A and B are shown apart, each in its own frame.
Chain A
């Protein structure tokens, strides 16, 4: 039997996560939202989400809240990813493949620079 992760393991990493979180909270929260309606999922949104979560895990990127939303009525541009930094306006990206998602994480979420070419204009 492999050693399955337990609540005891969670207790151990909890304090560390809390500390990192405290440092990060001062800089303002970043939210990343993935459109996960039927069309989004069919267009590969789960793999896009996976690329985002993998990036956070691999790079140890603290202070990012990832969530999902239903269809946004932008079916032709799925998968859709939206980024909200602090109280700045929401930025919507279209046709976000896992590769594009990694660029968004690196350049926009971590680096603070828009990923030109994938931004789509929407009313927010």
Chain B
């Protein structure tokens, strides 16, 4: 995968599989400290400490269709190649939090890529989950919360053309404004 936003899309699938009701994703560019931080926090079923310690191993997976899971190990390797790390904190029946950090200016660091595409993809695919998305560049902040939008829509699917257009523009404009100002 060539974009961090694609890796995000991939590892968030673990939170969905963990039956999360709320998933918080944050992307923080701290250019002063030269760090890029991604995090995914869910209120899903969580893991035992043993499982949490082992999921960075490519031969561990909860899936049954195939025995190898590569999402987390791939991202971990990418972070470690850029003076960064990936860490997982999980509490059984409470949820899981994945933190990934990179040296922002590292020559091997993948570009963030299309964050709007990733967010829109998740919103549309899992409208029953509450999504809280944060994009921060230095002090500039954009926070998107799907809860008030879903409430307002009263069951109208997000894939209705006008709604889709609204969501795409809201995300694009929010993310762009943070990057322009930050």
Contacts and interface: CB of A to CB of B under 8 A. Distances in A.
Interface of A: 1-5, 7, 9-11, 13-14, 16-18, 20-21, 34, 36-38, 41-42, 46-47, 49-50, 53, 56-57, 59-62, 64-68, 70-73
Chain B interface mostly: helix
Given A66-B124, A71-B65, A4 B177 contact: yes
Contacts of B149: 7, 10
A41 B160 CA distance: 24
B156 A18 contact: yes
Given A37-B13, A41-B9, A70-B13, A53 B177 contact: no
A11 B152 contact: yes
B173 A38 contact: no
7 contacts: A2-B176, A13-B162, A20-B160, A41-B9, A57-B165, A62-B160, A66-B125
Contacts of A72: 65
Interface residues of B, number: 43
B105 interface: no
A53 B176 CA distance: 20
Contacts of A68: 121, 125-126
Contact of B166 (A10, A41, A59, A60): A10
A108 B150 CA distance: 29
B57 to A, nearest CB: 15
Contacts of B71: 38
B10 A5 contact: no
Given A11-B152, A38-B71, A53 B164 contact: yes
Nearest to B118: A46
